[in-house]
A and B are shown apart, each in its own frame.
Chain A
Amino acid sequence: MSDIILETKGLTKHYGGVHALEGADFQLKRGEHVAIMGDNGAGKSTFVRQITGVEQRTRGDVIFDGEHVSFAGPLDAREAGIETVFQTLALADDLNVPDNLFLGREKTKFDWLGPFRLLDYKAMREDTMAGLVKTGVKIPNIKNTIANMSGGQRQCVAIARTATFASKLTIMDEPTAALGVQETAQVENIIRTLKSQGESLILVSHNMRQVFDLVDRIIVFRRGRIVANLNKEDTDGNDVVSYITGAKTGAEYEGAA
């Protein structure tokens, strides 16, 4: 098994005449946490959307877990082992925590009953508890519906999904953008827990402190291109900002933007 979990080669996305993403070469090692930074419209979310199959790329290759992949949609990606925590949460407000975690992949009994097969509530509850313990998520009562939870708790539930299903790669697109200070700290703790468990992670974030706190490596996007690939130890906030704003461009990316 290769030690690279995800690789993209020349990943490109054009929306008509707009070149949102141009020739992105990217590698992620197993267990590595990488941040993607860049200004608004730099191509960060576009990059993520091509990997997770939310959109279809114009050209380029995506190699996941040693295989060339082309996901028809986010479901395919999830089945292959990529869990994505979207900016807008994909949770059903009127369902409780285990129901949401297992939505679309319920544990069931009497499967011959087809759509009327019985839900195995006990097994799902136990797995949910295990998943929450693993991520260190605190939720007062998992039988509460999502509608009764705070934004931070909702985000935690969304993230706990990844831990419950032992995914190979987790992608978080601005997971704390809408959260308060304490809730942000809670989510960051979960990310640390994932790191200690060897989960690979791509974190899209605008928050410099958070990025330096949590990840091993920083990729900077500018105007649809990757302009820097920086190890956390070799850089600092000012340096990253110069890449983001265009004052500097990584040596290996000269002429890219």
Chain B
Amino acid sequence: MSDASEGTGGLTYDKSKRSWPNELNVFGALILIIIIFEILGAVFMQQSLLFDTRDRFDSIFNEARLRIIIIQVAIIGIIALGVTQVIITAGIDLSSGSVVGATAMIAMSFAQVAEVNGAMNPKAIFGPSFLDLPVVIPVLVGLAVGTLAGFINGALVAYARIPPFIATLGMMLFARGVAQWWSLGNPVSFPTEGYAKIGAGMMPVIIFLSLAVLFHFIMNYTVYGKHTYAIGSNEAAARMSGINVPRHLMLVYMIAGGLAGLAAVILTSKNLTAQSGMGLSYELEAIAMAVIGGVSLFGGRGSIIGTVIGALIIGVITSGFTFLRLGAFYQEMVLGMIIVGAVALDQWQQQRAAARA
């Protein structure tokens, strides 16, 4: 007879026994990368990357550089929050960069001022009745365009059963085409004052971090989050358990599209212009942030916190290479290696876990 008859002895709920969260590994990697740059900086530049080494005692950190690190990843970081959710469902979204381009053009067209230096706005896309609109209109238009792109992605993936890679690849080409067709390649410029405030200064960072907190909460404490993980973990089990998988996938892709639309609004506001080439390869950087942050491309595993740390890792590497006065090509080589390394580590951990079970 086995010991199983002896009741429920081992049955516990023990917080301390929770397994080591993967985010700590990613955070460790961030610290390690910072230390490497600090050492390289001390040896080659006689300067610190993040700490204030000048003769000023009012600050510990080099605040200007910290600010740059986070500003430069904030906008793509917003996209990465959505891409993270898509990847957790075992999908992928290749369209977000192009959706940023298309949304930038369309949203900016609704944000233009009527007069520039006393003359009619030379870049106006629409007639006078569409100029000087309240700021809420271009923002809503941007969100709507992004969400619509996500809606189409979601429908193709969930109902037409087209693999996410192909469906979003199609959207990537299509949306870039829309961006170029919208004003026949001309930039759309001169936004209203209100619109220009959305992406000014630290606003992108504030929006990015607020959304990160919001989606962290949603992914961990709501039915939406639980079902997102369940679908990525075992789609058949999710279906058997009564989850409306297609409808849920639609929602995930729409949220990802909406976040890309919002990123476009912030980007055009920050740059005060929209160009059809905007957002080029953003989708790949967003995917890189998620993957470096420990989101598994096989679905089911990963977190918003991980992606935020992944974004910071990319920010530190980008700033670090500039700080060491190394060319951008080295930076891309290193980023490429880190992404492959992150996926290799994920594979290795999965195999180890499978061997243990």
Contacts and interface: CB of A to CB of B under 8 A. Distances in A.
Among A89, A90, A92, A185, which residue has the most Cβ atoms of chain B within 10 A? A92
B13 A129 contact: yes
Interface in A17-66: none
Given A74-B240, A138-B8, A150-B357, A94 B223 contact: no
14 contacts: A78-B242, A90-B234, A92-B237, A94-B233, A103-B230, A105-B242, A115-B223, A115-B227, A119-B221, A141-B14, A142-B11, A142-B13, A143-B18, A189-B5
B2 A90 contact: no
Nearest to A181: B2
A9 interface: no
B11 A133 contact: yes
Contacts, number: 128
Given A104-B238, A145-B19, 5 more contacts: A90-B240, A93-B300, A137-B11, A143-B14, A147-B357
B218 interface: yes
A94 B8 contact: no
A176 interface: no
Among B2, B241, B301, which residue has the most Cβ atoms of chain A within 10 A? B241
Contact of B232 (A91, A94, A141, A189): A94
Given A103-B243, A132-B8, A189-B2, A118 B19 contact: no
B17 interface: yes
A186 B7 CA distance: 11
A109 B221 CA distance: 10
Interface string B287-322: 000000000000011000000000000000000000
A136 interface: yes
A113 to B, nearest CB: 7
A147 B300 CA distance: 11
Contact of B234 (A92, A119, A136, A185): A92
A106 interface: yes
A74 B9 CA distance: 34
B265 interface: no
A141 B226 contact: no
Interface in B305-357: 353-354, 356-357
Contacts of A90: 234, 236-237, 240-241
Closest 4 pairs (CB-CB, A-B):
A104-B241, A104-B242, A186-B4, A94-B300
B154 to A, nearest CB: 14
A241 interface: no
A160 B233 CA distance: 20
B222 interface: yes
B190 interface: no
Nearest to B8: A133
A99 B234 CA distance: 13
A69 to B, nearest CB: 18
Given A119-B222, A147-B353, A92 B229 contact: yes
Among B222, B232, B356, which residue has the most Cβ atoms of chain A within 10 A? B222
Interface string B108-145: 00000000000000000000000000000000000000
